[in-house]
């Protein structure tokens, strides 16, 4: 029973992954210079690579901002549209739209929003007399602008999971809480939040993975610029691997990235194993 899944995993994940780890200790083969064992050279050049560190820093900020924001907003959205709110159908649809719009296309639309002098933000800002701002073209605002797009794209998707979980919670709980005179906040903190824990962990796992996997919007909107201000790890990796064709170095970055993610993941799964009861 395990066999089919295992064979596929080995063929398309482990075998190439092991090849990658081996590559990370080898120089990049060039026609007149075949690949040789170089030990930790690739890792050494990573430590010296300022762009790697910048991408790492950017990515940590990106993760620190997108994960809590998208999960928090998702929860808020789900709580809102779960209750008897005016225009609930519209609200649900509105929150869900980013999920069905392909990233390549929406990144172009967001590009218009951010365009200076006639972009949407500029037109709205103009009405209130705000000064002109080159959102994507300024090092201090570019990363934040990219982050907003990611949060926008993700929150609605995560909302679905929360919404489903909330719908599964028996209304009698709320009634009981009301009879005992519990306030909304108290009810949320003491009853809903613990009940939603498994969903939160599930969503968090996805949010963490996505924080290191989302790169399409960077490609369309800034290509990592200005001056690497929006370069994320995977984007840097893409450049090293598919623009510079530096196989050895790309492999080294991959190994580090995987190592870091695996650590995060193992901790999470350890928690998940303990806490999640479906």
Partner 1 sequence: MSDPAFQQKSPVVDTLAAWLLAILWVLPLLYAVWTAFHPSEFSAKFSLFAPLTLENFERAWTAAPFARYFFNTTVLVAMILAAQLVLCTLAAYAFVRYEFRGKNILFALVLVQLMIMPDILLVENYKTMSKLGLIDTLLGIGLPYFASAFAIFLLRQTFKGIPKELVEAATMEGASSLQILCRVYVPLAKPVYVAFSLVSVSYHWNNFLWPLVVTNSVSSRPLTVGLQVFASTDQGIDWSIITAATLLTAAPLLAAFLLFQRQFVQSFMRAGIK
Partner 2 sequence: MKFNFTVISAALALAAAANVAAQVTEVPFYFPVAVGGPITKYIDQFATDFNKENPTIKVSPIYAGSYQDTIVKALTANKAGMPPVASVLLSTDTFTLIDEDAIVPIDNFVKTPDDKAWLAGFYKAFLLNGQIGGKTWGVPFQRSTVVLYWNKELFKEAGLDANKPPQTWAEMTAMSQKLTKKDAGGKITQYGVQIPSSGFPYWLFQGLTTQNDVILSNDAGTQTKFDDPKVIEALQYWIDLSKKHGVHPSGIVEWGTTPKDFMEKKTAMIWTTTGNLTNIRSNAKFDFGVAMLPAGKKRGSPTGGGNFYIFKKATPAQQEAAFKFAKWLTQPERAAKWGIETGYVAVSPAAWDTAALKKYASEFPPAAVARDQLQYAVAEFSTHDNQRVTKALNDGLQAALTGSKTAEVAMKDAQREADRLLKSYK
Binding residues for partner 2, rule: CB under 8 A, are 30-32, 51, 111-112, 115-118, 126, 129, 131-132, 134, 136-139, 222-223, 225-228, 239, 242-246
Q: Which is nearer to partner 2, 65 or 221 (CB)?
A: 221
- Binding partner of residue 223 among partner 1, partner 2, none, CB cut-off 5 to 8 Å per kind: partner 2
Q: Which is nearer to partner 2, 30 or 213 (CB)?
A: 30
**Stated length of the chain:** 278
**8 A C-beta contact, residue 76 and residue 95:** no
Work out whether 265 is an interface residue with partner 1 (CB under 8 A): yes
Q: Which is nearer to partner 1, 61 or 202 (CB)?
A: 202
CB neighbours of residue 188 within 10 Å: 15
Q: How far is the CB of 255 from partner 2 (least distance, A)?
A: 20
Residue position matching structure tokens 């794209």? 153
**8 A C-beta contact, residue 217 and residue 98:** no
Residue 26, classed as helix, strand or coil, is: strand
Site pattern 130..169 for partner 1 (x: CB under 8 A): ----------------------x--xxx--xx-xxx-xxx
* Structure tokens that stand for 272 in this block: 């998940």
Q: How far is the CB of 151 from partner 2 (least distance, A)?
A: 22
Footprint (CB under 8 A) of partner 1, residues 74-133: 76-77, 80-81, 83-87, 89-106, 108-113, 115, 118-120, 123
Q: How far is the CB of 217 from partner 2 (least distance, A)?
A: 14
Work out whether 20 is an interface residue with partner 1 (CB under 8 A): yes
Site pattern 202..241 for partner 1 (x: CB under 8 A): x---x--x---x--x---x-------------x--xx--x
**Euclidean distance between CA atoms 243 and 90, whole angstroms:** 44
* Structure tokens that stand for 173 in this block: 């709980």
Q: How far is the CB of 118 from partner 2 (least distance, A)?
A: 5
What is the DSSP annotation of 127-183? HTTPPP--TTTSTTTHHHHHHHHHHHHHHHHHHHHHHHHHHHS-HHHHHHHHHTT--
**Euclidean distance between CA atoms 151 and 123, whole angstroms:** 23
């Amino acid at each position: 029973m395990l066999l089919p899944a295992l064979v596929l995993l080995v063929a398309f994940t482990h075998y190439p992954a092991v090849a990658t780890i081996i590559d990370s200790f080898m120089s990049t083969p060039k026609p007149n210079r075949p690949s040789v064992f170089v030990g930790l050279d690739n890792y050494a050049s990573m430590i010296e690579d300022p762009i790697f560190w910048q991408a790492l820093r950017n990515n940590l900020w990106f993760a620190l901002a997108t994960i809590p924001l998208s999960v928090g907003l998702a929860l808020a959205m789900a709580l809102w549209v779960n209750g008897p709110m005016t225009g609930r159908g519209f609200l649900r649809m509105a929150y869900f739209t980013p999920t069905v719009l392909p990233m390549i296309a929406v990144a172009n639309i967001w590009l218009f929003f951010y365009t200076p002098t006639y972009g949407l933000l500029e037109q709205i800002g103009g009405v209130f007399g705000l000064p002109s701002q080159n959102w994507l073209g300024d090092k201090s605002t570019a990363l934040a602008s990219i982050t907003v797009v990611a949060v926008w794209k993700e929150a609605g998707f995560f909302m679905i999971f929360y919404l489903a979980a909330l719908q599964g919670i028996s209304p009698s709980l709320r009634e009981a809480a009301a009879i005992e005179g519990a306030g909304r906040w108290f009810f949320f903190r003491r009853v809903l939040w613990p009940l939603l824990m498994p969903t939160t962990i599930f969503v968090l796992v996805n949010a963490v993975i996505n924080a290191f996997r989302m790169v399409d919007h960077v490609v369309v909107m800034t290509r990592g610029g200005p001056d690497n201000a929006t370069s994320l790890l995977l984007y840097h990796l893409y450049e090293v691997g598919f623009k510079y064709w530096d196989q050895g170095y790309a492999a080294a970055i991959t190994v580090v990235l995987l190592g870091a993610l695996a650590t995060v993941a193992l901790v999470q799964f350890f928690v998940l194993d303990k806490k999640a009861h479906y």
